[in-house]
Amino acid sequence: MKLLKSLPLIALAALITYGCSNKSDDQKQVAATPANNVIKTEKIKIITMANQLIAKNIEYTSTLKANEEVHLVPSTPGRIDQIFVEVGSRVKKGDLLVQMDQTQLQQAIIQLKNLETDYKRLDTLQKVGSITRQQFDQISTQYEIARSNVDFLKENTRLVAPFSGIISGKYFENGEMYSGAPNTAAGKAAIISIVQISPLKAFVNIPESYYPLVNEGMKTEIQSDIYPDEDYTGVIIRKYPTIDVNTHSFQVEIRVENPGEKLRPGMFTRVSMSLGEMNALVVPAMAVLKMQGSNERYIFLEENGKAKRISVTLGQRFDEMVEIISDELKEGDHLIIVGQARLVDGVPVEVVTE
């Protein structure tokens, strides 16, 4: 009986203890909540950006192309009598490269000779008034058509080199039929292909901001990883008049001198050119951050006590310094150079001078 009477008292004590415990935990949680909401102010160091006069050089990559490339074919399908060259053969302008079947040409020549005989005979008769002018005009027209046909077939049964170069492709053998179907990597039909590799040419896309500074006749430097100790020269021969709306860049065509013909079409090269002296924002390279998993570069400015993120494009490098380009930057901005790796856009910052 004494044990049963004491149970309610034990339960009441436990309940009071539990309630006090919960109240203590709640008070701890309430007390901790405001501390978690406090926004931490990051300590940083800054420099004031200023324009510097630099020798502006730009560099881009390009793939070399043949100065001229032609896929040779006759105007009509036919049997190939003989191909006189192989891939890699050097040819001169005017060399005979391919001889097509001449059956049609021989028939056209015989027809022309017959018409020539009739033409000369009727020409004599027309002069003495034995035939009408209409009869002579008819034979004259037929003769001119036949002569034109012979000239056409002569040109298209003998394929000659349009310029001096190297044979880069051979797609048929002697005796095969040329059908006219596309059969080259360029999607064109050809019996043989010929390229000119001295000089070569390169195409480069340049940001629109440099459009006023790049002109035809400017010299460029060409470098290839295959020949790292050799420098080649180029000249801008064409500047395209429009800007690509997607990339905001324009294209230039560069004539690349190729002494010794070491460079070849398809090679990867670096093209650099000097744009003279100009003002630029040059900052410590450590201030520029890179977005993980991409090539995006960005910096942080201190503006009204907060960090402001700005995307930038890298320009030239000068040892530990680098040129940065952005329409959002100006002289006098406060660039964060210490503590920037911990920042996010808009976070409060405190400038320290130590």
Per the model's pLDDT, the better-predicted residue between 143 and 5 turns out to be 143
Q: So what's the pLDDT on residue 7?
A: 35
Closest CA to 73 of 200, 162, 143: 162
Q: So what's the pLDDT on residue 163?
A: 94
Q: What is the mean pLDDT of residues 167-185?
A: 92
Q: Give the model's confidence band at 37: pLDDT under 50 very low, under 70 low, under 90 confident, else very high.
A: low
The token duo for 305 is 């006590």
Q: So what's the pLDDT on residue 27?
A: 43
**Torsion angle of the four alpha carbons 71, 77, 79, 83, in this order, in degrees rounded to the nearest 10:** -10
Q: What is the mean pLDDT of residues 282-294?
A: 92
Q: So what's the pLDDT on residue 300?
A: 97
Q: Could you read off the pLDDT of 45-93 as tens digits, one per residue?
A: 999 999 999 888 888 999 999 999 999 999 888 999 999 999 999 999 9
Distances in Å between the Cα of 297 and the Cα atoms of 84, 244, 286, 293 are 57, 23, 12, 11
Least confident of 15-19, 231-235, 263-267, 302-306: 15-19
Q: Could you read off the pLDDT of 180-216 as tens digits, one per residue?
A: 899 888 889 999 999 999 999 999 999 888 899 899 9
Whether the Cβ atoms of residue 194 and residue 88 lie closer than 8 Å to each other: no
Angle at 202 between CA 200 and CA 205, to 5 degrees: 170
Question: Does pLDDT of 346 surpass 90?
Answer: yes
Per the model's pLDDT, the better-predicted residue between 224 and 33 turns out to be 224
The token duo for 64 is 């070399």
Q: So what's the pLDDT on residue 63?
A: 96
Q: Could you read off the pLDDT of 82-126 as tens digits, one per residue?
A: 999 999 999 999 999 999 998 888 888 898 898 888 888 888 887
Q: Give the model's confidence band at 161: pLDDT under 50 very low, under 70 low, under 90 confident, else very high.
A: very high
Q: What is the mean pLDDT of the chain?
A: 86
Q: Give the model's confidence band at 309: pLDDT under 50 very low, under 70 low, under 90 confident, else very high.
A: very high
Q: So what's the pLDDT on residue 164?
A: 94
Q: Give the model's confidence band at 39: pLDDT under 50 very low, under 70 low, under 90 confident, else very high.
A: low
* DSSP letters spanning 49-77: --EEEEEEEEEEEEE-EEEEEEEE--SS-
Question: Does pLDDT of 294 surpass 90?
Answer: no
Q: So what's the pLDDT on residue 129?
A: 77
Whether the Cβ atoms of residue 148 and residue 157 lie closer than 8 Å to each other: no
Coil, strand, or helix at residue 273? strand
Q: So what's the pLDDT on residue 13?
A: 41
